[in-house]
Structure 1
Amino acid sequence: MRATDVLIDGLGRISENVHAVLDDVDSEVLNRAPAPGSNTIAWLVWHLSRVQDSHIADVAGTDEVWVTGGWADRFGLPIPPADIGYGHSADEVARVVVHDPGLLRDYYDATHAVSVDYIASLADSDLDRVVDTNWDPPVTLGVRLVSVVDDDAQHIGQAAYLRGLFS
């Protein structure tokens, strides 16, 4: 098995969990916080999708699906289009309200498809390419992609917990 196949498998598991969390969830549960200032399922799935989208676009040298697919307009969130949710305050988290779980699922699916296509195009040796020199040691493509899988796995786990808590 190639390293890129492992990364694609990891993203596939996240995709399955995104679908499981969003299937048959209602708007109230989607946007309900367990405590004031806490993340919601809507914010968590939006954020993990935005992080994956922005990081893949960055390393692939392409535009984000959020923009090219018109998702920023479809969501109509009162936040800047470049916002991915990193470092959001409680007030900013509260601005991410999504009434249609299908919209979240479709955006994640579009991001997932682009991500898988990009990773499938790579040779394992491509994973050694340095993509960020702001860290010591510099971040390679492989490390960045593992970081995306790790971040997404944590956030979808949090969303699954909330789904169970509110069901």
Structure 2
Amino acid sequence: MSETWSQRLLADGFGRIAESLPAIVDGLSVDDLLWRPYDGANSIAWTLWHIARMEDVQIAPLAGTEEVWTRDGWVERFGLPYKPRAMGYGQSAAEVAAFRLEDPALLTGYYQAVHEATIDLVDTLGDDDLARVVDEHWDPPVTAAVRLVSIVDDAAQHIGQAAYVRGLLGLR
């Protein structure tokens, strides 16, 4: 099957996140990545972890696979004080503050693994797949295409937040 315009468009959107995330991590120390501009704010590390988790959590059911997080041992490598299913959504300020990171490569490695799973899915999707309703809890019901665009939109907003906090590092 030849690549469709939909596949190219989705791959481009997800590719932009995959390019931006390592650029934010590049050159930062663990302390920089964990710094929060004020109590209750998200650190760069937590925000980037959340991007990867929310993509993983939403891509796995679309692909009919287990999450990369649990399938490939990322839960153990990160060793976070969260339940394995945690993805950051709805976490309290105290839970965000409890985020720990030993190696910045965990953030980029986990996101790269999620990105590969995402592109593997995108490469299989035809127009009928994209039109399939995946969530009837909304009005109108959410299709696979809408879900994928929503993931890109959410990730792009969080990339902007992480980039902003990176900029604030120079002010501390």
Q: TM-score, normalised by structure 1?
A: 0.97
Contact 1:30 1:99 in 2 (8 A): no
Q: Is the counterpart of residue 156 in structure 1 residue 156 in structure 2?
A: no
Map of 2:87 onto structure 1 = 84
Superimposed CA distance per residue, residues 116-145 of structure 1 (whole angstroms, 9 cap, x where no aligned partner): 111111113311000001111110000000
Give structure 1 stretches of 5+ with no counterpart.
none
Q: CA RMSD for the aligned pairs?
A: 0.9
| Structure-to-structure mapping, 1:102-117, within 5 angstroms | 102-117=105-120
| Structure-to-structure mapping, 1:51-66, within 5 angstroms | 51-66=54-69
Q: CA deviation at 1:61?
A: 1.4
Contact 1:44 1:155 in 2 (8 A): yes
Map of 1:48 onto structure 2 = 51
Q: Which amino acid aligns with 1:62?
A: T
Contact 1:2 1:124 in 2 (8 A): no
Superimposed CA distance per residue, residues 21-56 of structure 1 (whole angstroms, 9 cap, x where no aligned partner): 011110111000011110000110000000000100
Q: Is the counterpart of residue 29 in structure 1 residue 32 in structure 2?
A: yes
Whole-angstrom distance in 2 between the partners of 1:50 and 1:155: 12
Seq. identity, %: 52
Whole-angstrom distance in 1 between the partners of 2:72 and 2:99: 19
Whole-angstrom distance in 1 between the partners of 2:116 and 2:97: 28
Whole-angstrom distance in 2 between the partners of 1:2 and 1:165: 38
Q: TM-score, normalised by structure 2?
A: 0.94
Question: Which runs of at least 4 in structure 1 moved beyond 6 Å after TM superposition?
Answer: none
Map of 2:122 onto structure 1 = 119
Which deviates the most, 119-128 or 43-52? Answer: 119-128
